[in-house]
Amino acid sequence: MKFNTQWQLPLLVVLLMTVNACKNKGKVAANEVALLQVTEEKATAASAKVTTDANTQFKYTGTPGYVATDSAGQQEEEQAPPAGNEKKQAPSPRQTPVANPDWDKKIIKNATLSVEVKDYVRFNELVRAAVKQSGGYIAQEEQSESDYKIENSITIKVPVDQFDNTVSALTPGKEKVLVRKITSQDVTGEVVDTRARLEAKRQVRLRYLDLLKQAKNMEEILQVQNEINDIQENMEAAAGRVSYLTHSAAFSTIQLGYFQVLNPQARDQETPPGFGQKVLTALTAGLGWVGELIILLVSLWPVWLGLLTAWWIYRKYRPAKRVPVNSVAPPAHPEV
């Protein structure tokens, strides 16, 4: 069977182009499948790690009892040593109780305090001594004074392990505590979850970097680079969130306000005015504006004098109006 060479060559070119296109699509699909597999594996591993950490619990039974309960429900207990001269067995490293069972928890603690003091200067010194002793610092301070009272508002940052001691030092029994509000927020789960997501995104980013090296044209390079940029932004946001929560949990916040009454009789002067007083104040302010306007107009007397002089000259020297002859009305006809 013979083929015509006029259409045989174009047909061969079309077949070759179709085969190349199928190969390129197969490579892109393989890359996407590999990327999805890597992402799913990392996310599964991170979730399994978080689940393992969350299911592991440590419980104390008091000295010397200690029970460690793992995710499988198995328990190991260290019993009290028997009385007598029997040799004491040193506990294994796994059975040694930790001094603080909540060492890995991230709890944000806040306190709001309002105190009426008898001696403002002495209490001010007490506050600064308590902050220095706790290892914290004063983040913000605002002081005001009037005839009625002198007051100060301070924002204090203290280490979380010194939070309770500092609150107790700032609310002594001989001072009048008006407000004492303490709140806490456990952000351990959010920190662990954000860290796991950050690690998964980091692995995905590495995979995209490998794909970027395998890109063969500008379109593929730009597409992969855009994905890398999006992942990088998400990683930075997650890292910033973890840093913020960690710092907030490490340093607790205390909002402290304290004041001393200087003149109790001057309290009525600080009472906000009523409706009638506000109306009277508004009328007084309006009359003041009218007076200022009159004074302004009087101060411009040279301008008014100049305008009056110009108007007088214009009226005196302007030409007289000429009456046209045709404008005289004809005499009226007498009635018959």
The residues near 216 (Cβ < 8 Å, ≥ 6 apart) are none
Q: In this structure, is residue 201 part of a structural domain?
A: yes
Domain count, the chain: 1
Whether cis (ω within 30° of 0) applies to the bond prior to 64 is yes
Closest to 189 measured CA to CA, from 54, 57, 58, 56: 54
Taking the chain (336 residues) in runs of 10, the rounded mean pLDDT of each run is: 50 59 51 52 51 41 37 39 46 46 75 94 93 93 90 94 93 90 92 92 91 87 91 93 91 94 72 74 85 86 87 78 57 55
Tokens of 175: 């001072």
| Beta-strand pair 251-261/149-159 | antiparallel
HSE value, Cβ hemisphere, 13 Å, CA-based, for 251: 14
The structure tokens 């109006």 sit at: 321
Q: In this structure, is residue 140 part of a structural domain?
A: yes
Q: In this structure, is residue 184 part of a structural domain?
A: yes
pLDDT at 38 (0 to 100): 52
Tokens of 59: 């419980």
Phi, psi of 254 (to 5 degrees): -125, 120
Closest to 105 measured CA to CA, from 141, 167, 152, 57: 57
Q: In this structure, is residue 186 part of a structural domain?
A: yes
Q: In this structure, is residue 311 part of a structural domain?
A: no
pLDDT at 172 (0 to 100): 87
pLDDT at 35 (0 to 100): 52
Residue 122 structural domain = 104-266
Measured distance CA(173)–CA(168) in Å, rounded = 9
Tokens of 174: 């001989």
Q: In this structure, is residue 241 part of a structural domain?
A: yes
Using DSSP's 3-state secondary structure scheme, residue 205 falls into helix
pLDDT at 21 (0 to 100): 54
pLDDT at 99 (0 to 100): 44
pTM of the model as a whole:
0.48
Q: In this structure, is residue 118 part of a structural domain?
A: yes
Q: In this structure, is residue 209 part of a structural domain?
A: yes
